[in-house]
A and B are shown apart, each in its own frame.
Chain A
C-alpha cells in the first residue's frame, strides 16, 4: 500500500514565461525538481494554467542525434520533433504531451517552439538577442552566434537589468512592443530577470574596431530582423503572421546597426 507521502507527491510544475502559465505534469519528481531549478524565477505558484502538458520520460539512451527541428500542423495539432523529443499540442484543448529523456534541454526547446507559436498569433516573437532594461526602457541586441549578445550582457553597468543573453521575448500590446525576461540563456548561463519594459530600440550587433551606431530602415531592417527571429513552423498562415509582425515592428521601433569594441563605453552610446 502506498504511503500517504507518496499519495500527495507533487506531480506538476507551472512555468510562466511572458505571462503565459504552462502546467507541466510528470510522475518523476526528480525531473520536476530539475524543472524548478532550471526555471527558477519563472515557476508560478498559481494553480491556474492556460496550457497543460503531460511529460512522458523515455529511458536514457533512446534519443537520436538528429538536431533538425520539425514543426508541422496536422489534424488540428502542432507536432514538434527533434532527435531528443516528440511533442504534440492541441490549440483547441490547450493540452499537449511531450516525450523526451530526462534532461531539461529538450523541454527548453519545446517551450521555445511553443512560445513562438503562441506569440505569432499575438503579434510577438522570440528573437536571437540579448535584452536589457535601463531607465524603464528595454533594448534588444540581436545577432548571430558570436556577434556579441553575451558580450553586451557582460559589459552591462550595474543599473541595467538583464532580461536574457540569448533569446528575447517580444510581445505586442496596444501598438507597443515590450521585451520580457526569459529563462532562455546562452553562454552566461544565467536566467534573466522576470520583468518587462517597452522596447526603445533594436540594435543589430557587429564587433568592430570602434563604437558606431547607424540607423537602418525599410526592407533592410525587416530582412535583418527576420534573419534573427525564431520560427519553426512553415505553414503559410504562420509565416504571414511572422512576416507582418516584422514589418510592423520595424515601422514602430528604431532599428540600428551597432558596431562596437568590447568595452563598457558601448553602453554610454545607448540612449
Chain B
C-alpha cells in the first residue's frame, strides 16, 4: 500500500489568491508560480497534517468530475514539482515544520 503523503507550505514563500488563481513566490530565489483553479483548491487545503489523498478526495473529487486515482496522480505531480522548487515540504508523516520532527523530503 502506498504511504500517505503529507504536505506543508514552506515558510520562505509568499502566496496570494488572485481571482480563481493563486500566485506563489519563492522568497529564496523570487521564482513566481501561478496555480490554476484546481491547484489553488489543493494549495489552500494543505495543512501539513491531512494526507494529500484525503484532501483530493474531499476537495477535488467532490467538486470536479474526476476519478480519485487520476486526481491523486495529478496532485502528487503538482506537489512534488513545487517541492523541488522549495515551495512545499513533503513527508510520509504529519509535518511539524517548527519542530522539524518529521522526515521531510523536498
Contacts and interface: CB of A to CB of B under 8 A. Distances in A.
Nearest to B28: A234
A243 interface: yes
Contacts of B45: none
Contacts of A234: 27-30
Interface stretch (B15-23, B62-70, B77-85, B97-105): B15-23
Interface string B4-37: 0000000111101011010101111110101000
A236 interface: yes
A219 B25 contact: no
A202 interface: no
A222 B16 CA distance: 11
Interface string A226-253: 1000010011100110011001000000
B88 to A, nearest CB: 15
B103 to A, nearest CB: 24
Main secondary structure of the interface of A (DSSP, over half): helix
A236 B12 contact: yes
A113 to B, nearest CB: 15
B11 A236 contact: yes
Interface string A12-52: 00000000000000000000000000000000000000000
Given A236-B12, A243-B14, A218 B30 contact: no
Main secondary structure of the interface of B (DSSP, over half): strand
Nearest to A220: B34
A176 interface: no
B21 to A, nearest CB: 5
A219 B14 contact: no
A236 B23 CA distance: 15
Given A218-B19, A247-B23, A223 B34 contact: yes
Number of chain A interface residues as a range: 10 to 19
B16 A223 contact: no
A239 B34 contact: no
A13 B27 CA distance: 36
Contacts of A244: 14, 16
B18 A218 contact: yes
Contacts of A240: 14, 25, 27
Interface string B36-74: 000000000000000000000000000000000000000
Given A236-B11, A236-B12, A243-B25, A222 B30 contact: no
Nearest to A221: B18
B16 A243 contact: yes
Contact of A236 (B18, B21, B27, B32): B27
Nearest to B20: A218
Contacts of A219: 18-19, 21, 23, 34
Given A223-B32, A223-B34, A243-B14, A218 B25 contact: no
Given A218-B21, A223-B32, A226-B32, A247 B16 contact: yes
B27 A222 contact: no
Contacts of B14: 236, 239-240, 243-244
Contact of A239 (B18, B21, B23, B27): B27
Given A223-B34, A234-B30, A239 B19 contact: no
A240 B32 CA distance: 12
Interface string A188-220: 000000000000000000000000000000110
The 10 closest A-B pairs by CB, nearest first: A236-B27, A240-B14, A239-B27, A243-B14, A219-B34, A243-B25, A236-B12, A219-B21, A247-B16, A218-B19
